[in-house]
Amino acid sequence: MRLLVVYVIGVVLLSSIDVTYEWLSPLKDRGAATPTEWYAIVGLRSGVMMLANREPPGPAEGLSLDVHGPAFFPFPFYAGAGPEGGGIFLTVWFIGLILWVAHSLLRLPRRRGLHGDNRT
């Protein structure tokens, strides 16, 4: 139960912090004389680990940090693409849930051994 409380606190905290890095990553087109402006983004934003890209407008933000209220992205993972950008997104709550389940399953045999519930 203590691990569940730590999990929930961690998810809420990580859903309240944005740490992203954005940079200009021009696309080279064989037919065009100048490369197409394109921005790449990596980091944690609104509780989602992301690797994404987008079209302009606006300059690349570089390293950005922000603190806000918790945000909840309902899908555990998402990969999408479109004409203006795309990305791969993996939510913090899903990563935490996988770690919590793995930890619980690894501790299960040890608990059975301590309580004398060995079944052969």
Judge contact between 49 and 94, C-beta under 8 A: no
Of 33-37, 52-56, 66-70, 96-100, least confident by mean pLDDT is 33-37
What DSSP letter does each residue of 23-62 carry, written as one string? EE-PBP-SS-SSPBP-EEEEEEETTEEEEEEEPPSS---E
30: left (phi over 0), alpha (psi -120 to 50) or beta: alpha
Whether the pTM exceeds 0.85: the reply is: no
Torsion angle in degrees (nearest 10) through CA of 65, 71, 73, 79: -10
For the segment 57-108, what is each residue's pLDDT rounded down to a tens digit?
Answer: 766 778 999 999 988 878 898 999 888 889 999 998 888 888 888 888 888 7
Query: For residue 38, is pLDDT > 90?
Result: no
**Contact at 8 Å (CB) between 42 and 34?**
no
